[in-house]
């Protein structure tokens, strides 16, 4: 593999907060790296170091010659009046600048000979960037990602704007693609689409995400920011957990041995005059070194400790019973003849794409919303804690302690009295942060406030609507551990596949036309059955008025249709002819006197070459698709 970028002895700090302490890192072609770390550890700052938006305090960042870096930001730009085509084309600004520079020099015949070397370098960079025809490359990317090229950005949903942003990042053919929380607020189908696009990308990828399923499916190496250092772990997320656990145990063992040795030396030096004899001066100096080393040790950050105030009273055996309910808005049917019986202690996940009616179903099950038809009955002794309701009621003018403690200094958790600040430290809020107004908190911190508030409430029915958004991995793992021990009944809506697999025993899945089916197991158990999720009208996965540039391939039948078989048979000859034409033009372009010709002739020939290369790419992809379908049959 080829090295693309290297961090050499890099240090970075903001005030008294050290982000990196003399770190080293090399990223090579073809790698898919996941950068992980706690909230505030410096993941986004690390990405900014790589893009050049932030300069290191010490050390050097070396980007190897010709390496092109593109970035997909965490925060989507607001919808604008710009058309999709022009937004994608913005990703070609460097290529456009190269082409304009080439044309300007080529047009000046007086300087052409003296600038021959510069022209050659520009021509090489232009070819590496995809060729001379910007519009062809933009059209090819829009076709590949099936984007509505003439729609305006403010007409698209968040998921489609994410697709456009990815197209803008990819169209310039970067060698290194940086992704900052790319799955935020996307539904499952869109996340799976994004995974496939990243997997198909030929360059290196460095991404930051809290979606552990995304990490497990894509990462070839995990880079962890740990106490100012970068630690490299080969493999996916499960590999990381196994290696990390082993390394932590080894660190604890070494520290224990060191502390024992230090205690022995401290006891020795306290015994008196012998420690000051000349022959023992070396031992005293060694003790001073040990003291300094111990004082500089940075402890691992504490793990979140989550408690849930479970009700002392059990609910009735029947918690909720739904019979033949239907509900919709206008002509859109969300639920049709849906029946469900929930019994005490069940743990049910609710799966579906954005807009299909998951939150509507929760509100019906809570009694907040009356269905159009059908009946719903509630069991006895229910004490409900509802996550989304607290999100809606969050007062951003109050401090974290005021929100969670409701003005009290002490709260009761699991029958014990606990100071509000001590309780909040279990949710990774420092004493200072506990007194901060909610308005100043990040999205992940606000979610932790809501969870901390929620779990002070006594409950035997816990309902969570997207509780994992923006939470860091450590908090997610603590939440999963606690929920797996919850003795009450649990309903959870989530797009986090890893989370669902860890905590639920059955799933309700929206499968289209108002149909919601129940399956045993978590998300992976349902996915193994090759089922499909419903798509809401105007949602991320359906809202696409643009026709694809290629004809859709029908579902496999006993054999390819006559038309498709003829197309498949003709493609090898077509590919061979295109390769021959490209080779002929390439030989002409490579001759010494090519760039001494008139500017218009050079331009026409290079654009012809670019068009042929694009046609070849389309033909090869189409041949691979049809061959794959024929093989499946």
pLDDT in tens, 209-231: 989 999 999 999 999 999 899 99
Contact assessment for residue 507 and residue 523, using Cβ atoms and an 8 Å cutoff: yes
Cα-based distances in Å from 556 to 144, 261, 531, 614, 631 = 22, 70, 17, 28, 10
Please tell me the least confidently modeled range out of 60-64, 124-128, 522-526: 124-128
Looking at per-residue confidence, does 534 or 313 come out higher? 313
pLDDT at 545: 42
At 555, list the tokens. Answer: 């579902």
Helix ranges (H only) for 129-236 are: 134-144, 158-170, 188-200, 212-218
Which pLDDT band holds residue 553 (cuts at 50, 70, 90)?
A: very low
What does pLDDT average to over the chain?
A: 83
Residue 137: count other Cβ atoms within 10 Å of its Cβ: 24
Which pLDDT band holds residue 539 (cuts at 50, 70, 90)?
A: very low
Residue showing tokens 């600004």: 93
Q: Please check the confidence at residue 510 and state whether its pLDDT lies above 80.
A: yes
pLDDT at 11: 94
pLDDT at 172: 81
- 371-380: average pLDDT: 93
Report the share of the chain in percent with pLDDT over 90: 33
Domains of the chain: which residue ranges?
Answer: 77-174, 241-295, 318-527, 562-632
At 162, list the tokens. Answer: 């994410």
Q: Please check the confidence at residue 494 and state whether its pLDDT lies above 70.
A: yes
Tens digit of pLDDT for each residue in 228-260?
999 999 999 999 999 999 999 999 999 999 999
Q: Give CA–CA dist 145/196, Å, rounded.
A: 11
User: Candidates 3.20.20.70, 3.40.50.300, 1.10.1740.10, 3.40.50.1110; correct CATH number of 318-527?
Assistant: 3.40.50.300
Contact assessment for residue 425 and residue 380, using Cβ atoms and an 8 Å cutoff: no
- 415-421: average pLDDT: 89
Q: Please check the confidence at residue 557 and state whether its pLDDT lies above 60.
A: no
Looking at per-residue confidence, does 255 or 446 come out higher? 255
Tens digit of pLDDT for each residue in 308-360?
888 888 989 999 999 999 998 888 889 999 999 999 999 999 998 877 888 88
At 455, list the tokens. Answer: 């779990």
Chain centroid, CA 474 distance in Å: 16
Q: Please check the confidence at residue 547 and state whether its pLDDT lies above 60.
A: no
Which pLDDT band holds residue 112 (cuts at 50, 70, 90)?
A: low
Backbone angles phi, psi at 28, to 5 degrees: -115, 160
Residue 15 C-beta-side C-alpha neighbours within 13 Å: 1
Tens digit of pLDDT for each residue in 132-178?
767 777 888 888 888 888 888 888 777 788 888 888 888 888 889 99
Q: Give CA–CA dist 347/516, Å, rounded.
A: 17
Contact assessment for residue 505 and residue 482, using Cβ atoms and an 8 Å cutoff: no
| Helix (H/G/I), strand (E/B), else coil: 246 | helix
Q: Please check the confidence at residue 73 and state whether its pLDDT lies above 80.
A: no
Q: Which helix (H) or strand (E) holds 222?
A: strand 221-226
| Helix (H/G/I), strand (E/B), else coil: 206 | strand
Tens digit of pLDDT for each residue in 587-614?
787 676 766 777 677 767 876 776 777 6
Looking at per-residue confidence, does 274 or 358 come out higher? 358
pLDDT at 544: 45
Tens digit of pLDDT for each residue in 38-66?
877 888 889 999 988 899 999 999 999 87
Pairing of β 58-63 and β 3-14: antiparallel
Helix ranges (H only) for 271-373 are: 281-295, 358-366
Residue 176: count other Cβ atoms within 10 Å of its Cβ: 23
Top CATH class of 562-632 equals mainly alpha
Report the share of the chain in percent with pLDDT over 70: 86
Please tell me the least confidently modeled range out of 115-119, 247-251, 288-292, 511-515: 115-119
């Amino acid at each position: 593999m080829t090295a693309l970028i290297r961090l050499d002895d890099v240090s970075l700090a903001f005030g008294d907060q050290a982000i990196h302490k003399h770190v080293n890192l090399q990223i090579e072609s073809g790698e898919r790296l996941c950068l992980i770390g706690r909230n505030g550890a410096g993941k986004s700052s690390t990405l900014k170091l790589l893009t050049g938006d932030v300069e290191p305090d010490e050390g050097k960042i070396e980007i190897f010659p010709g390496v092109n870096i593109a970035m997909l930001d965490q925060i989507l730009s607001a919808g604008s009046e710009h058309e999709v085509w022009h937004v994608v084309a913005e990703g070609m600004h460097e290529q456009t600048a190269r082409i304009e520079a080439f044309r300007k020099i080529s047009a000046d015949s007086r300087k052409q000979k003296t600038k021959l070397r510069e022209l050659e370098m520009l021509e090489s960079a232009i070819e590496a960037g995809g060729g001379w025809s910007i519009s062809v490359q933009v059209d090819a990317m829009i076709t590949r990602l099936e984007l509505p090229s003439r729609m305006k950005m403010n007409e698209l949903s968040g998921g489609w704007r994410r697709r456009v942003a990815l197209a803008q990042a990819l169209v310039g053919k970067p060698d290194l693609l940086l992704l900052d929380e790319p799955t935020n607020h996307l539904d499952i189908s869109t996340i799976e689409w994004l995974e496939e696009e990243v997997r198909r990308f030929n360059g290196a990828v460095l991404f930051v995400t809290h979606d552990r399923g995304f990490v497990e499916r894509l990462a070839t190496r995990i880079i962890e920011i740990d106490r100012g250092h970068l630690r490299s772990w080969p493999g996916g997320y499960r590999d990381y957990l196994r290696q990390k656990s082993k390394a932590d145990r080894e660190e604890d063992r070494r520290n224990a041995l060191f502390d024992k040795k230090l205690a022995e030396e401290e006891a020795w030096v306290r015994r008196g005059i012998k420690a000051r004899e000349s022959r023992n001066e070396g031992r005293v100096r060694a003790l001073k070194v040990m003291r300094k080393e111990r004082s500089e040790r940075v402890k691992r950050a504490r793990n979140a400790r989550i408690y849930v105030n479970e009700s002392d009273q059990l609910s009735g055996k029947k918690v909720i019973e739904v019979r033949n309910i239907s509900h919709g808005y206008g002509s859109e049917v969300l639920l049709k003849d849906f029946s469900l019986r929930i019994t005490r202690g069940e743990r049910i996940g609710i799966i579906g794409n954005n807009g299909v009616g998951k939150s509507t179903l929760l509100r019906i099950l809570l009694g907040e919303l009356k269905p159009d038809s059908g009946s719903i009955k509630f069991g006895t002794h229910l004490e409900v804690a509802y996550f989304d309701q607290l999100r809606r009621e969050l007062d951003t003018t109050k401090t974290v302690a005021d929100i969670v403690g409701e003005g009290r200094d002490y709260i009761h958790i699991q029958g014990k009295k606990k100071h509000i600040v001590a309780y909040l430290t279990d949710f990774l809020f420092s004493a200072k942060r506990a007194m901060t107004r909610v308005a100043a908190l990040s999205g992940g911190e606000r979610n932790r406030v809501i969870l901390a508030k929620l779990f002070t409430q006594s409950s035997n029915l816990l309902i969570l609507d997207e509780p994992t958004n923006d939470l860091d991995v450590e908090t997610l793992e603590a939440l999963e551990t606690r929920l797996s021990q919850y003795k009450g009944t649990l309903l959870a809506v989530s797009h986090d596949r890893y989370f669902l697999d860890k905590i639920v025993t059955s799933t309700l899945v929206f499968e289209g036309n108002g149909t919601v089916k129940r399956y045993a197991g978590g998300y992976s158990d349902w996915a193994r059955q090759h089922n499909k999720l419903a798509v809401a009208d105007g949602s991320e996965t359906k809202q696409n008025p643009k026709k694809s540039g290629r004809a859709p391939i029908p579902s496999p039948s006993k054999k390819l249709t006559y038309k498709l078989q003829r197309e498949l048979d003709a493609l090898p000859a077509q590919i061979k002819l295109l390769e021959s034409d490209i080779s002929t033009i390439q030989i002409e372009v490579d001759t010494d006197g090519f760039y001494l010709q008139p500017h218009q002739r050079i331009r026409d020939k290079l654009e012809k070459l670019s068009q042929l290369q694009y046609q070849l790419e389309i033909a090869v992809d189409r041949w691979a698709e049809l061959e794959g379908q024929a093989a499946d049959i």
